[in-house]
Chains A and B, each alone.
Chain A
Amino acid sequence: MSLIEYRLKSEALCLGERIKKGTFRPTITTIPYSQITGALKSVVGKNDIHATGCITNSPKKEYLTFSPKDNITNVSKIPITVELLTDVEGRVYIVKNQAYNLPSSIELVMGALRTRGLGNCTINKVGEIDLSTREARIRNTGNGLLNTRIPIEHLDKFNVRSIRPRYGYLFKPTSLTSGIYVLSLFENSEVNAPRVLLK
């Protein structure tokens, strides 16, 4: 197996957590499996795609306050403040699938508030991380702190082994309108993993 490495750039991203207190939507500072895989699936149109990523610079946090409207009554709800990251640079790692080739440059939309112009990203292929042989795995993996979020059920796809986990849940869509939360390894988990996924 190998991971295809892409460089990500985005002007503004809100990688949402749950809204807090009904008024504040914070952003996380990594690119979880659920967000990037979902975004890629909708662009590439393949279901068997698995990707994860991380942010490599220290983007500025900014805040956007707006009042969403109820679609039916057209009445404004309580204003909500959204935390967003600006001028984001990151890396995306897609598990290589022999069945198809991915383009070297992909435009995608990821995260929250996409209707308000957030989440536009460009990813450009920069290389490949070989994990196919024992020697390659020894060379390219190591122990450290995880820099992304990956569901437990997909750890093996990224050659990640948990040592001291930090758990959380990621959303997994089960249909167009529904989904479940699945147990996942979160950033700062102590793991043995490809070095590119470590802090």
Chain B
Amino acid sequence: MSLVPELHDIGKLLDTRATNIKHNLENCPIQHHTSTWRGIIEHHCSPIHEKDPFEKYPTSSDTFRLHIADGLAAATSRYKVRGETGSSYHVHKLWNPRIGITFPLLKTQEDVKRLVSYVAGDPSAQDYFIKYGYLLRNRAEDATSGRNITSLYTHSKLTGQFFKILVLDETSFPLREDLGSLSREEVAELTTRKENEWKMSVMRCKIGFALEPVRARDLNVFKAQESFINEVKAVFPHNILFHTSDELLLISSNAQQLLNNLKAKIEQLGFSLEIIRGEAQIAGLKPDPEDMVGNKKETIYPVLPREIEPPICELCQLNKANPEPWIDEDSGISEYICSKCWKIREMGSILRKLVEWETLETNPKICWVKLWLDYEKLVCSLTELYVEYLKGVGVTDPRKQAEIRFSTISEFQWDYDGFLADFWKTIESQIGQDNVQRILLDFSGIKVESLNEIKTVLKIYNELFTRFFPKLKRAVCPIKLSVVCSNIKFPFLENWRLLRDSKSDVNVHIVGKGKMDLSIQDISNILDIEVKSKASLHRLIELNKKSTRLSKIVLYDRMDKDYKRNTEIREAVERFGFQNVLTYAEILSD
């Protein structure tokens, strides 16, 4: 059996003090000789002057690569966050720290025996994550206070990914040294040398498409985008470190080969890819290529000719349209579209509920709800939260030491995915599953009876955001919520433009009625507004439809008959702005 890198830190599930067994199991009374066991005992190479060093160190190429992969997947650089700050075995998630949690480590001899015999049975990584998943998710990868910011689960997965990249590309990561003949000091030296010699590329790829959906079937383009990401995940399972519905963070030893592969895929679909990539020695890799010196920016498009003879595709306006138009059976309307857009339309009615709603005579209102995650802002806010945490545990010079690495980003992915899953599930349970058409992991269409249901969406968002990311409420918020509500007949491409153009943390746009742009801090406060005087509110809304300026004048006119009754509204306007309050009033009064 070959070495299973994900198991290298299984010894961290044992209580070292109670069992007196080191986490690399080198002093475990029972020893085995499988490759995975070798990986566990040899995955560390203690620096020369370390106080209580591990005796074992890498003696073969695979355990050496595992040692390097372990370092790459660590929450903090081995050289940073120094100082005796105590132990905290629980994971301190920067965005959602849980205080007062004690972690149940394995303590008894029975526990040790069970764990050792489990490793001896050469389990797969998948089996390991199922069996010890709960413990792995709660145990910090590094138990030192200030370094306990990622779970053993994320660290183990990431180590596996890095290890496979290092093993599968011998050309980029040559290792000719005979490790069996080297001393611990020599291996430590070799580690530093290889970390400064071996190079990898970090790439952020944002997927774009030019197709402007006008029919429900054109929304299949989102499904095509999802399939594209799933396909990339299947072809490069070890290279993806983070992803959203339209962005990928990839790591590779051969960026060009990976890009060529992506290019071939986007060519078929007519997508484009905005890429930022940075190459560095593995010791200097950063989770945001934008922060890497000498990074390159490019956009990959399918082949685009210099000139196109009419007709041009009406949907994407990037390709020549097919000579035969696409004819709508019901209306007889013909559209000149290209073969790529045609293919998307011909994928059939994947989004069945939308197609059904489109044919309803009642012309229902649809709320398009999209969440956006800004990767650059995420790295920034996590860095700020890390500085705050390090300050709290008494680390000197926290700003210099706070460095966000791949593992923290991957850890965030778990919670972000969980947040999205809970968000849609709660919406479905409160608004009705039949009324929710899921389009992407972060995008859905919701059929609403009245605008009041937007309040339900905002409430759910606020509650879940507070539960999953309480600390992000006080930082630069990387997550954005956009809600656009319109009649089903309103062109989707306009809804999509409004969703994309959102600037604030929480954006609500009711087509033809108004919009709200709120910060994440404001959302809970605005949801608490209660306006007793409904009649005067209606009057203001009606005036606002005719003239915003006039309704403002009336609101502040001391001679107006409703001046006293409008006190609550004036207070709300002071806090959230006139436009926001009036739009919110529209929501409440529908």
Contact = CB atoms under 8 A, between A and B. Distances in A.
Contacts of A19: 314
Interface residues of A, number: 26
Contacts of B307: 180-183
A22 B333 contact: yes
Interface in A10-41: 17-24, 26
B491 interface: yes
Interface stretch (A85-93, A119-127, A130-138, A158-166): A158-166
B306 A21 contact: no
Contacts of B306: 152, 182-183
B297 A169 contact: no
A78 interface: yes
Interface stretch (B61-69, B196-204, B207-215, B573-581): B207-215
B299 interface: yes
Given A20-B314, A20-B491, A26-B493, A164 B299 contact: yes
A167, A179, A182 — most chain B CB neighbours (10 Å): A167
Interface in B320-337: 328, 331, 333-335
Contact of B301 (A22, A24, A167): A167
Given A21-B335, A26-B493, A181-B308, A164 B214 contact: no
A166 B331 CA distance: 34
B554 interface: no
A103 to B, nearest CB: 33
A190 interface: yes
Interface residues of B, number: 30
Contacts of A182: 306-307
B314 A78 contact: no
B21 interface: no
A17, A26, A181 — most chain B CB neighbours (10 Å): A181
A5 interface: no
A22, A164, A169, A179 — most chain B CB neighbours (10 Å): A169
A168 interface: yes
A179 B310 contact: yes
B494 A78 contact: no
Given A21-B335, A164-B274, A169 B214 contact: no
Contacts of B210: 168
Contacts of B127: none
Interface string B290-312: 00000001110100111111101
29 contacts: A19-B314, A20-B212, A20-B214, A21-B215, A22-B333, A22-B334, A22-B335, A24-B491, A26-B493, A26-B494, A78-B331, A83-B494, A152-B306, A164-B274, A164-B299, A165-B301, A167-B272, A167-B318, A168-B210, A168-B317, A169-B308, A169-B317, A179-B310, A180-B310, A181-B307, A181-B309, A182-B306, A182-B307, A183-B305
The 4 A-B pairs at the shortest CB distance, nearest first, are namely A22-B333, A181-B308, A21-B214, A20-B214
